Structure formats: structure tokens, C-alpha cells
Structure 1
Amino acid sequence: MRQIKISRSITDRQGESLERYLGEVARIPMIDPDEETMLADEIRKGGKKGERAKDRLVSANLRFVVSVAKQYQHKGLSLTDLIDEGNIGLVKAAEKFDETRGFKFISYAVWWIRQSILQAIAEQGRMVRLPLNQVGALSKINSEIDKFEQKNHRQPSTEELSDITNIDADKIETTMNADMRHMSIDAPFSDDDSNSLEDILPSQDKTLSNEVEKESMDVDFKDVFNHVLKPREVTILCKSFGMGCQEEGAEEIGAQMGLTRERVRQIKEKSIDKIRRSGYKHVLAKYLG
């Protein structure tokens, strides 16, 4: 595979060079859905035109790699290395993306970016060595996760993995928790975790300081909302948490939508529960501290 030049331009750079790269990435024009579809089609056709299309699709999404990479600092790799690894995942996503499935590219790519980073941390950073009796189970689990993700554009739940592999759900969780490639993806949403989805939804006094991270977060949340919720539910959550608009209370939202304050509260809680139970919850897990 030909290496995307910009994805390697940050290798072994520190300080001012890294800051310069981050500035360059932030200035790269983003692409609209129509161009994204066109580029994905060209990539699939291959040839020189396909390579140019891949360069364009990857370059336009490099800012999101930075956002994801920052979530994994202080785990054994420098930010420069994390971005490098994330860019490798981004290139893989560009090569495998199927625009006909109805997903935005970045919603699909974020899994590949994160997996590439986590695998690098496991292999080059603070590697956790698995007991021999878990190695075989892990290999089978990883294989089935890859197959499921390719087919469904999301990760399987523990219950789904258990059904597919015939491995007990508790053993799957124990094995995956021991494998650092899967850290921080599902754990924050487990039954015994104190963090809730509502805890990580953005509000006026809880915004990300970095504009690139904020942009990435908005894309992730809105994509999940639109895939899981009905239009009215999306509107209520966006207004409740200030997603692309001024944050408003239940009474204000109700007055605008012809609903009682209590009904707005019920729809909001139901919507949050729907997201928690959906296959897309892992997309939001990276914003947990």
C-alpha cells in the first residue's frame, strides 16, 4: 500500500514541528457528503485517480485523528506516535469504506482510528501479557469482532459475541479487559460503572477547550443521535445539551414543541436509554475522562 505522505509527515516530530502539523491539519478544507460519496466511489475503482481520492478523503479527516489520539495520551506513547498510528487506521478506513451503507465516513473511520491506536499501545507501550489459557479465546473473539464490524459497521455487544463464539459472556469480558487493545471502549458503560451517558453529553459549562476536539465530538454525537433516535428525540437532546444551538431547559423546549415539561423530560430520558442500549454507544465512550 502506498503511504499517504501527510500521514507520515509528523513522524519523529516534537514541539514546534508538531504544533505546525496540527495547524496545517486544522486548515485543510473539509468535504461535504456529496464529495465524500464521490471520493469513496473513486477509491473503490482504484488506479491513480483512486489513490488521489484516498489522499483527499484521508487529508480532510486528519483533524479527527488528532481528537482521538489526545484521548489516549500518557498510556505509553507520545502524542506524535499516537497520531501516526491513528493515521494508519484512517487510511485503512478509507480503503474499506462503503458509502452505500448510509454511514458518514468519520463515523465508520473512528473505530479503525481507535483500534490502530489501542493496538499500538498494547504492542509498544504498557503491554499486558495474557495467561496462556486466554490466548486462544482472545484470538477467536478478535476474529469475530472484525467480521461483525465489517458487516455491521459497529462493534458487537458482549451478548452478541457470546452467541457467536459460544464463549461465556463473563469470560469474554475478562479476556477483553486483559487485552489493552480493547481498553476504554465499552468499560465506561458497564453495569457497575458510575458514569452515565448524560454525564458526558456537552453543556455550556462542560465544553472541550480544543475546537478540533469539539468538532469531532459534535460529529460523533449527532451521527449517533441520527442513527438511533427519531427526529423529535434528536431535537430535544440537542436543545437540552446545547448541541449546535443554545442550551435550553425542559420548559422552554416544551413551549416551542407543544409539549409539557414532564413530557420533554420523559422523552429525554427515553432517548438517553435508547442510546445506552444501542450498538453505537462505543462511539461516545472516548469522551469519558
Structure 2
Amino acid sequence: MSTTHNTDSMAVYMRDIARYKLLTAEEEIELSKRVHDGDDNARQHMIQTNLRLVVKISRRYLNRGLALADLIEEGNLGLMRAVEKFDAIHGCRFSTYATWWIRQAIERAIMNQSRTIRVPVHVAKELNSVLKHANQLRTLLGREPTEDEIADAIGIPVERVQTLIRTTVTTESADALQYGSDSISIYEVTADEQADAPGDRMETDCRNDMLEQWMEKLTEQEREVVRMRYGLGGFGEVQTLEMIGQHMNVTRERIRQIQVKALKKLRLIVKRDDISLEEIL
């Protein structure tokens, strides 16, 4: 299929999905109830009104081995799953809930693609670890994690994280990308035209509420390290391991160990509390 044909098809698709209006919170609640009652029309309506969300998220994964159309197709599968599992009674907007499912579906497809291009098994496992930790940090921070943050969480050099990321980038685009310790994100993030939408505040508050519930299950020391390391809970700026070590009068390595242990705990908590994880993302 020619590039021109692909471009034309995508343009038609974008025009088609643009005609569906975004749902209000009240409409989400009503449709969610109908979906749980087996109303297929309600299910289809929830899917159609959120197709633009899939496109927006899919664009963040460009140049990682899959074409945009393929990313959207995989993301749509995640969206369908989110519609089936969404429960509006917990107070989060559907877009917050669905984002995790969409990302998970896309990242799983990228991992499968990495296997088709003959990435060694041990490399695929390492890359999967990077993606999992990136998801965990994204949940914790409410933003895309830096390569340094991912490396710290896993306990590997940042150069290794950069190498693993490059394994999923196509040869043609690899020269156009630069990876450094100061890079903002491991993903190509596109502008979000709804970044200042009123609903974002609600979604952020929802995520923060769930995060606080998770953090309560950590020890006081672990909570303090996580909050200082990622600028949470009023600490403002992100602090280095050295800075936190000086504050607590322990070594940098000890702080790193506490951080890794705390993040492992959070990951287990999130895995156990599946509903909370999906709603916070």
C-alpha cells in the first residue's frame, strides 16, 4: 500500500472521528451504567467519542517500530477493554481510566514488534522492564519520566536505558533522535491541545487521591524518599539521591536502595489493587 494511500486513509479516519463530541462527566456515568447492563449502543458510543484520545496517545509512540495506523489499531483495542471495565462510581473521568489501557495495548504491541525484528530474548526482557518502570513512574509523577529517573528506579546505568530504547527505533529515524541525560522524555510527546481543559484538574486530583492511598502503605521513610525524589507532597522540586542522603544523614546508595524498595512495594500494591491502578492512569 502506497504512502499516499495511507496518508489519505488516515485523513479520512481523522475526519470521521472528529464528528463525535466529547462526553460530559454525567454522560460518562449514564453510558457506563448502560454498558454494564449490556447495552451495545452505549458501548459503541463510548468507544466512538474517545477515538481521538487513542490518536493523541498513539502519536507519542511514533518512531518505535510501528506505523501510526498500527499504533491506533492497537490503542483502540485497549480503549474497548477500558469501556468494558470502567466504573464511574469511583469518581475518575473515563479518559484518566482509559489511558492506562490504551498505553498498555500499544506497548505490548511494540514489545511484540521488537521480537519480530529479532531482538535477543534477554534484551526484550530488559526493554520490558524499562517500559514497566516507565509506566509506574508515569503513574507516580503524572508526567513522562526522564531516562535518568527510569535508570534510578531499575538500578541500571542511564546509558543502558538509552540503548534499550534505541532497539525499538527504526534505522531510518534513529539518526534523527538524540538521547541524553537531560532529555525530557523517552517518548516523542506531541502538543496536547486540551492540556488546560477544565477536566484536567479533576483528573489530576483523582490521580493524586489514589496515589496518596498507595503511599500510606509505605513506611514513613519510604514515603519521604519517594516524595523528595519525585517532588511530590509539597516538596516541589525533584531532589537528587545525594541531596536526600544529606537530608537524612545516610549515603546516596542507601537512599537508592530505599527508593527501589519503595517502588517495588508500590508496583505490588498497584498490581493487587487493579481498579485503582486503572483509574489513576
Q: TM-score w.r.t. structure 2 length?
A: 0.50
Give the alignment's TM-score, normalised by structure 1. Answer: 0.49
